[in-house]
Amino acid sequence: MDHINTEFDKYTKVWSGPAAPKFFDPDCSIGKVLLAFMRNNAGNICQLSDTEGTALTNGEAITFGIRLAQHFKAMGLKQDDVIGIAGGNTTYLLPLVLGCLLNCTPFHALSPHQDESTMKNLFYTTRPRLIFCDGSIYDRVSAVSKMLKANVYTLKEHRGDLPRIEDLLEPTKGEMFYV
Protein backbone atom coordinates (compact mmCIF):
# COMPACT_ATOMS: atom_id res chain seq x y z
CA MET A 1 0.00 0.00 0.00
CA ASP A 2 1.30 3.45 -0.93
CA HIS A 3 1.70 5.91 1.89
CA ILE A 4 0.41 9.44 1.60
CA ASN A 5 2.73 11.98 3.13
CA THR A 6 0.85 13.56 5.98
CA GLU A 7 1.92 15.64 8.91
CA PHE A 8 0.31 16.43 12.22
CA ASP A 9 0.88 19.82 13.83
CA LYS A 10 0.65 19.20 17.55
CA TYR A 11 0.11 22.89 18.31
CA THR A 12 -2.79 23.55 15.94
CA LYS A 13 -3.90 19.92 16.03
CA VAL A 14 -4.31 19.89 12.24
CA TRP A 15 -3.42 17.09 9.84
CA SER A 16 -1.96 18.28 6.52
CA GLY A 17 -1.42 16.41 3.29
CA PRO A 18 0.65 17.22 0.23
CA ALA A 19 0.00 20.61 -1.35
CA ALA A 20 -2.41 20.50 -4.28
CA PRO A 21 -1.07 21.89 -7.54
CA LYS A 22 -2.36 25.32 -8.50
CA PHE A 23 -4.21 25.67 -11.80
CA PHE A 24 -3.46 29.38 -12.08
CA ASP A 25 -0.99 31.88 -10.73
CA PRO A 26 -2.30 33.35 -7.44
CA ASP A 27 -2.23 36.82 -9.04
CA CYS A 28 -4.38 35.70 -11.98
CA SER A 29 -7.57 37.71 -12.59
CA ILE A 30 -11.03 36.18 -12.76
CA GLY A 31 -11.09 37.29 -16.41
CA LYS A 32 -8.13 35.03 -17.24
CA VAL A 33 -9.71 32.11 -15.39
CA LEU A 34 -12.97 32.56 -17.33
CA LEU A 35 -11.04 32.93 -20.58
CA ALA A 36 -9.29 29.59 -20.04
CA PHE A 37 -12.40 27.66 -19.03
CA MET A 38 -14.66 29.16 -21.70
CA ARG A 39 -12.11 28.51 -24.45
CA ASN A 40 -11.70 24.91 -23.28
CA ASN A 41 -15.47 24.38 -23.40
CA ALA A 42 -16.24 26.61 -26.38
CA GLY A 43 -19.13 24.53 -27.73
CA ASN A 44 -21.18 24.50 -24.53
CA ILE A 45 -24.18 26.82 -24.39
CA CYS A 46 -23.81 29.32 -21.57
CA GLN A 47 -26.79 31.60 -22.15
CA LEU A 48 -30.30 31.31 -23.54
CA SER A 49 -32.53 34.33 -24.02
CA ASP A 50 -36.15 33.40 -24.46
CA THR A 51 -37.26 37.02 -24.88
CA GLU A 52 -34.76 37.68 -27.66
CA GLY A 53 -34.70 34.15 -29.06
CA THR A 54 -30.91 33.88 -28.87
CA ALA A 55 -28.36 31.43 -27.52
CA LEU A 56 -24.67 32.02 -26.83
CA THR A 57 -22.01 29.37 -26.55
CA ASN A 58 -18.96 29.83 -24.35
CA GLY A 59 -16.94 30.41 -27.52
CA GLU A 60 -19.22 33.15 -28.81
CA ALA A 61 -19.49 34.85 -25.42
CA ILE A 62 -15.74 34.88 -24.80
CA THR A 63 -15.04 36.06 -28.36
CA PHE A 64 -17.43 38.99 -27.89
CA GLY A 65 -15.86 39.63 -24.47
CA ILE A 66 -12.37 39.71 -26.02
CA ARG A 67 -13.51 42.17 -28.68
CA LEU A 68 -15.02 44.44 -26.04
CA ALA A 69 -11.88 44.18 -23.88
CA GLN A 70 -9.74 45.17 -26.87
CA HIS A 71 -11.97 48.18 -27.52
CA PHE A 72 -11.85 49.15 -23.83
CA LYS A 73 -8.05 48.98 -23.94
CA ALA A 74 -7.99 51.10 -27.12
CA MET A 75 -10.22 53.64 -25.33
CA GLY A 76 -7.63 53.82 -22.55
CA LEU A 77 -9.84 52.21 -19.90
CA LYS A 78 -7.87 50.68 -17.04
CA GLN A 79 -8.47 49.20 -13.60
CA ASP A 80 -8.88 52.68 -12.11
CA ASP A 81 -11.80 53.46 -14.44
CA VAL A 82 -15.40 52.27 -14.15
CA ILE A 83 -17.89 51.14 -16.78
CA GLY A 84 -21.53 51.85 -15.96
CA ILE A 85 -24.29 49.43 -16.92
CA ALA A 86 -27.97 50.31 -16.66
CA GLY A 87 -30.00 47.79 -18.56
CA GLY A 88 -32.08 44.68 -18.42
CA ASN A 89 -30.88 41.21 -19.26
CA THR A 90 -29.96 40.96 -22.92
CA THR A 91 -27.85 38.81 -25.21
CA TYR A 92 -24.84 41.09 -24.92
CA LEU A 93 -24.87 41.69 -21.17
CA LEU A 94 -22.73 38.59 -20.42
CA PRO A 95 -20.10 39.48 -23.07
CA LEU A 96 -20.02 43.04 -21.69
CA VAL A 97 -19.26 41.77 -18.18
CA LEU A 98 -16.65 39.37 -19.62
CA GLY A 99 -15.04 42.27 -21.50
CA CYS A 100 -14.83 44.27 -18.28
CA LEU A 101 -13.28 41.33 -16.40
CA LEU A 102 -10.79 40.56 -19.20
CA ASN A 103 -9.66 44.20 -19.24
CA CYS A 104 -9.66 44.30 -15.40
CA THR A 105 -12.01 47.27 -15.58
CA PRO A 106 -14.59 47.38 -12.78
CA PHE A 107 -18.22 47.82 -13.69
CA HIS A 108 -21.14 49.33 -11.81
CA ALA A 109 -24.45 47.76 -12.76
CA LEU A 110 -27.75 49.44 -11.93
CA SER A 111 -31.28 48.18 -12.27
CA PRO A 112 -32.98 49.78 -15.28
CA HIS A 113 -35.96 50.37 -13.00
CA GLN A 114 -34.15 52.99 -10.89
CA ASP A 115 -35.43 56.55 -11.15
CA GLU A 116 -33.32 59.28 -12.72
CA SER A 117 -32.26 60.81 -9.40
CA THR A 118 -31.01 57.49 -8.03
CA MET A 119 -29.11 56.70 -11.24
CA LYS A 120 -27.58 60.16 -11.20
CA ASN A 121 -26.45 59.84 -7.57
CA LEU A 122 -25.04 56.32 -7.99
CA PHE A 123 -23.19 57.03 -11.22
CA TYR A 124 -21.95 60.36 -9.86
CA THR A 125 -20.39 58.40 -6.98
CA THR A 126 -18.57 55.85 -9.16
CA ARG A 127 -18.00 58.19 -12.13
CA PRO A 128 -18.04 55.75 -15.06
CA ARG A 129 -16.15 56.82 -18.18
CA LEU A 130 -18.39 54.67 -20.37
CA ILE A 131 -22.05 53.77 -19.86
CA PHE A 132 -24.07 50.98 -21.46
CA CYS A 133 -27.84 51.28 -21.16
CA ASP A 134 -31.09 50.28 -22.81
CA GLY A 135 -32.28 52.85 -25.31
CA SER A 136 -35.61 53.07 -23.49
CA ILE A 137 -33.95 54.46 -20.35
CA TYR A 138 -31.43 56.78 -22.00
CA ASP A 139 -33.44 59.79 -20.88
CA ARG A 140 -32.73 58.82 -17.24
CA VAL A 141 -29.01 58.36 -17.93
CA SER A 142 -28.36 61.28 -20.28
CA ALA A 143 -27.98 64.02 -17.64
CA VAL A 144 -25.34 62.17 -15.62
CA SER A 145 -23.53 60.98 -18.75
CA LYS A 146 -23.23 64.59 -19.96
CA MET A 147 -22.11 65.76 -16.51
CA LEU A 148 -19.42 63.03 -16.39
CA LYS A 149 -18.58 63.35 -20.10
CA ALA A 150 -19.13 59.59 -20.40
CA ASN A 151 -19.79 58.00 -23.77
CA VAL A 152 -23.05 56.02 -23.93
CA TYR A 153 -23.76 52.83 -25.90
CA THR A 154 -27.11 51.08 -26.08
CA LEU A 155 -27.51 47.41 -25.19
CA LYS A 156 -30.97 47.00 -26.75
CA GLU A 157 -33.93 49.15 -27.85
CA HIS A 158 -31.42 51.15 -29.86
CA ARG A 159 -31.74 54.82 -30.75
CA GLY A 160 -30.56 56.43 -33.95
CA ASP A 161 -28.54 59.08 -32.11
CA LEU A 162 -26.46 56.67 -29.99
CA PRO A 163 -23.83 54.06 -30.80
CA ARG A 164 -24.79 50.43 -30.18
CA ILE A 165 -22.87 47.70 -28.38
CA GLU A 166 -22.87 45.78 -31.68
CA ASP A 167 -20.50 48.46 -33.03
CA LEU A 168 -17.88 47.10 -30.62
CA LEU A 169 -18.50 43.44 -31.48
CA GLU A 170 -17.11 43.41 -35.01
CA PRO A 171 -14.09 41.09 -35.48
CA THR A 172 -10.72 42.56 -34.51
CA LYS A 173 -7.27 41.74 -35.87
CA GLY A 174 -5.78 40.32 -32.69
CA GLU A 175 -8.71 38.49 -31.12
CA MET A 176 -7.39 35.02 -31.99
CA PHE A 177 -4.14 35.75 -30.17
CA TYR A 178 -5.68 37.28 -27.05
CA VAL A 179 -4.21 36.00 -23.79
User: For the domain that residue 106 is a member of, what is the CATH number?
Assistant: 3.40.50.980
Query: Does the residue 101 lie in any domain?
Result: yes
What rounded mean pLDDT belongs to the chain? Answer: 94
pLDDT at 161: 95
Query: Does the residue 8 lie in any domain?
Result: no
Question: Which among 98, 111, 101, 87 has a CA at the least distance from the CA of 169?
Answer: 98
Counting residues of the chain whose pLDDT is more than 90, the rounded percentage is 85
- 154 neighbors 165 (Cβ within 8 angstroms): yes
pLDDT at 3: 66
Buried-state track 69-83, b at ≥16 Cβ within 10 A, e below 16:
bbbbeebebeeebbb
Domains identified in the chain, total number: 1
pLDDT tens for each residue of 104-131: 999 999 999 999 999 999 999 999 999 9
Query: Does the residue 152 lie in any domain?
Result: yes
pLDDT tens for each residue of 27-56: 888 999 999 999 999 999 999 999 899 999
Q: Can you tell me the mean pLDDT for 85-96?
A: 96
Query: Does the residue 104 lie in any domain?
Result: yes
How far apart are alpha carbons 81 and 116 in whole angstroms?
22
Query: Does the residue 13 lie in any domain?
Result: no
DSSP class of 114: S
Query: Does the residue 15 lie in any domain?
Result: no
**Alpha-carbon dihedral 86, 89, 94, 95, rounded to 10 degrees:** -70
pLDDT at 2: 58
Q: Residue 65: give the domain boundaries.
A: 29-177
**Alpha-carbon dihedral 155, 173, 62, 157, rounded to 10 degrees:** 10
pLDDT tens for each residue of 132-146: 999 999 999 999 999
